[in-house]
Each structure stands twice: as C-alpha cells, then as structure tokens.
Amino acid sequence: MSTTPAKTVKHIFVTGGVVSSLGKGIASASIGRLLKNMGLKVAIQKLDPYLNVDPGTMNPFQHGEVFVTDDGAETDLDLGHYERFLNQPCSRHSTYTSGRIYQTVINKERAGDYHGGTVQVIPHITDEIKQAIRAPVRADPDLDVLITEIGGTVGDIEGLPFLEAVRQFQHEVGRDHVVLCHLAYIPFIRAAGEIKTKPAQHSVQKLREIGLMPDFLLCRSEKKLDKGIKEKLSLFCNVPLAHVIELLDAKTIYEVPLNMQRQRFEGQIAERLRLPQATCDMRDWKLMLQHIRNPKDSITVALVGKYISLQDSYKSVTEAIDHAAWAHRLKANILRFEGEELEKDPQWRRKLHKADCIVVPGGFGKRGFESKVMAARLARESNLPFLGLCLGMQAAVVDFARHVLGLKEAHSWEMDEKTPHPVISLMEEQKAVIALGGTMRLGAFPCQLPRKTSRTSKAYGGKDEITERHRHRPQFNNTYRKACEDAGLLFTGLYVPDANKPEESLVEIIELRDHPFFVATQAHPEFKSSPVDPHPLFKALIGVAYRLRQQQGGGA
Ligand code: GLN
C-alpha cells in the first residue's frame, strides 16, 4: 500500500450579491483560467438553487441555451463559459441543482436508506450538497483546485441550504483550504454622480449572518472605484484592501482574466490557499485578445433561429461564430432572424443575401421550422456558404427531399407524424420513450469521416474519426439515403455502432456535392469551440465565406 498522503484539494467558492446577472460564471471561469495558467489542475462546477432537476426541460427563453457535456448532462449555459475559458470539458459533476439534490435525498428516503429517521434540510440536504462539492474531486485525483459557483443571489431563500453547506464544508476542511469570493454590484447613481457601497455592504452582512466571511470582494462596477471607495468597502465588508478587486465592465468577456491579473488576484488567491507561487503566463490569451481587438475586416453571418430575442439562447453558436471569425482575423456581424417573421417577410431573400453565409442552429417544434428550410434552400440554390446544426441539418434534408428529389410532402416526423415521406424519422430506441428530461440521444458519440476529399473531412484536418455532442430525438431516415446520394447529397459523417451492420449507421454529417460549402450536422459542434481552439467546421465556414466575398470583390 502506498503511504503517499492524499492530496489536499483547494476550494474556491464564488457567491453573488445585490443583483443577478453580474457575471459570476465569467468571474469563476476567469479565476479558473488564471490558475490553470499557473500550472494548476483546475475544475469548475455550478450549484444552482432552482428546483428543476436540470435545465433540459426548460424553454430557452427561461434559461438561455441548454449546454450539453460529453457525458450527456443537460446543463446551465455557464458551463459553456467554463469550457471556453479553460478549454477543457466539464462533466455531470460540474452542475447540481436543488432539484437534483432533493431527488437524490428523496430516492434514498424511499429506499429506506435513512433507517426510519426524519429526513431534513439540515443535515440531509446539506450533506448531499457537500457530496456534490466532493464529486469532482473524487472523479479526478489530480485536481489542485475546484471552483464552485453558487447560483442565485445571496439573500434568496432557496440558496440558503447551499450557503449553509459551504459554511459546514469550510469548517470541516479548514480555512486554509477554502477561499470565498463574493461578487457584488457597486452601483453608480447618475443623478447624484456617486458610487454607492451600501448594497454590497448589505449583501456581505447577509453572508455573515450565515457564518460566511468573504476573503475577496469582487466589485462589478461601470465606474472606476477610487481609493476612498475601496477603503470603505474594505472596512465595512471586512476584507483587506488588496482583496477588493475591481471588475469594470469589459469590452469582451475575455478581458476579465487580464483585468484580474493586473490586480494580482491569482497571486493573492495562491497566497491565501498556500499554493506554490508560480508565474501566470497569459501570452496565448493576450495574443487571442489582440486578434479580437484588431480585426482586419468583418464578415456577416445570418443566424436563422426562433429564440432570437433572448441573447443567451444561442450563446455557444454565436460564440463559435466569433471564435472562427477571430481565427481569420475578422469581426463577425451576426444578423439574427426570427424564423416566424422571416417566413412572412416578402423581402426575406434580399435580407438573407446581405449575409456572407448562413448558420441554422438547433431547436425544437414546428414554429419557425419552415424558415430554416427556406434558408437552407436559398443557401443551396445560390451557393451561399451554409452550416446547419442539429435541427439545421434536419431542415436542410427536408429542403433537399422536397425540392431536389421532388418529394413535395417530405417532412420531419417531429413536425408532421403523418408525412408520407418522413426523411427525418424517430430512432428505434426513441419510440418507447415517454418521459421528458434526459431521454434524448445525449452527449458525445464518435463519428467516422469516410470521404477523404469532402469539405467535412478537410475541415476536420483529414481525421478518420471525430467526436461531437448530441441532443436530439429524430434522425436522418436511411431509407432515403440512396436517393439523396444519387442526387448529390453526400454523407460525410457517420456514427457506426456496429461495423458488421453498416445499414444501422446513423447519418451525422451531410454536405452538398456541388457547392462551395454546404455542411450540416446532426451534432452540436458549437459546444466544443473555444476562443483559443475554434471549432473546425465554423472555421471552415467563415474561411470559405470570406474568400468567396473577396473573389466577388465585396466589401465588409
Ligand atoms: N428537434 C430536433 C430533434 O429532436 C433537433 C434538436 C436540436 O436541434 N437540438 O432531433
């Protein structure tokens, strides 16, 4: 037996005060990036106090995009920030909601695991929360630091068990191993021309009532905080002056780690946690920011969706477009089209043609679906570069079947169960599924790229196999494969569960044979893009679109 003592993992908790939407996710991700660049092994998780078991069944208008992990968890979009900042995958341990915690406790109670005892918020729910905090540590023995973001705002009733669990956790593992960062809003009252510290003081007071003492106060503010304000915050929030970290509104979220670094935040965290002091090399990050700040030109991308009015509904998609544009030293102008409005707009062709390329993202249900089919058709017929994602691929197949194969009533099973030509149909294993929530084809699946000369294969750098994440129910119907292929639709990515039964393979990526770039995938490649590692399909799309525009002599 080895006698090496188990490594002590350090914990950083991030809470938020005064108002929501302050960017706790970005702050957590930024801290993570700085520590990672100090050579530490970092993971981030989010504990969300709402009662849904996960956001999978929520409308994107409620909660923004649903982010999917490799292991198939349907999660909060903040996990997307964690992945993009850290350029490493999250897992189902990276997210727990009250609903999931309660479900576990209630299942245990039903199974008799509490031996007839009374089951209570304290200790049973708080114990389960502490288990959730330990889960990523158990899953990765090499971990140095776990950052845990607590969703919601301090003072929320539903957040109390989480804060109590953090208090107990800190007591159990010892203060040297735990750092508490509190992100508070410091408002500027325009009429009075003054910055106010009182709301932040009150939110820290709320934390103290629960027995939590913040080590760092992260101050989100639109105006610079002068020394006097910082001293006031330091004295009344009970943190050392140097631990008052100013987070001014940034032009891009990717500046936040550098803003923190300028205040030596990562060094102070390391000191406080007694971690070895190491240089935090952010040269790559700075280079990436230079590309963001100094584009040589711009590119216009049309996004045809249905949850367009909420910025965050397509967060990973718009991020992936930006990353790809930055990689080509371009700035992406994204024209967002609400599908239903586009369907009624007599000018729709002209409007879509203003873009250099079209992206049709994923989605569910009938509303706005025809606009996606229209967009795919326009791109196909007018050689406009196109990338279809999940429902975007299904729409492209429906267009092809209707307008190239002449199957006028072709449709997806999801939109019309009685269609005579279900070119997108329900997968066998999905036919028996009734329950919603975690029951789709979820998570990472391997995908073979059999056609070496295809645009798909070239975009992926000639690899034989890749993996992408999924979140869908229906699928391309293999009955129509031959007819499509004969008419010029190539199947460039396939999921092959059994090499001996090629007929059971699932179509993952399609492209048009005679088109500069018309690629669509059943997967969600946008989840795997990061600014330092843009996704190859998005990069290829933007590259072709820009080249074509230049060849046509078009300006930005
Ligand atoms: N609604 C489609 C399906 O379930 C597409 C899903 C998606 O775009 N994520 O297959």
Q: For atom 6 of ligand 1, which residue has the closest CA?
A: 472
Ligand 1 touching residue 414 (CB < 6 A): yes
Nearest by Cα to 45 from 148, 183, 152:
148
Domain boundaries, the chain: 16-287, 295-424+436-551
Q: How far apart are CA 89 and CA 394, in angstroms?
A: 27
- The SS3 call for residue 318 is helix
Ligand 1 touching residue 424 (CB < 6 A): no
The CATH architecture to which 295-424+436-551 belongs is 3-Layer(aba) Sandwich (3.40)
Per-residue burial over 396-432, b = 16 or more CB atoms within 10 Å of its CB, e = otherwise: bbbbbbbbbbebeebbbbbbeeebebbbbbbbeebee
Q: Are domains 16-287 and 295-424+436-551 of this chain identical in fold?
A: yes
Would you tell me the crossing angle of helices 198-209 and 227-237 to the nearest 10 degrees? 20
Ligand 1 touching residue 392 (CB < 6 A): no
pLDDT along the chain (556 residues), means of 10: 68 92 93 97 96 81 87 93 96 95 96 93 97 95 96 93 97 95 95 92 95 97 94 96 95 96 96 91 94 95 88 92 97 95 93 96 93 97 97 98 97 94 80 61 94 94 96 93 96 91 88 96 97 96 97 69
Ligand 1 touching residue 196 (CB < 6 A): no
For every residue of 150-182, DSSP letters joined together read EPS-TT-GGGHHHHHHHHHHHHHH-GGGEEEEE
Q: What are phi and psi of 466, to 5 degrees?
A: -135, 175
Q: For atom 10 of ligand 1, which residue has the closest CA?
A: 472
Of 67, 471, 475, 506, the one to substitute when testing ligand 1's pocket (max ligand atoms within 8 A of C-beta) is: 471
Written as six digits, the tokens of 346 are 């007599």
pLDDT the model gives residue 38: 96
Task: Show which residues are catalytic.
Answer: 390, 524, 526
pLDDT the model gives residue 427: 67
Superfamily of domain 16-287: P-loop containing nucleotide triphosphate hydrolases (3.40.50.300)
Ligand 1 touching residue 188 (CB < 6 A): no
Predicted TM-score of the model (pTM) = 0.93
Q: For atom 5 of ligand 1, which residue has the closest CA?
A: 391
**Please, are residues 493 and 447 in contact by the beta-carbon 8 Å criterion?**
yes
Sequence length of the chain is 556
pLDDT the model gives residue 309: 75
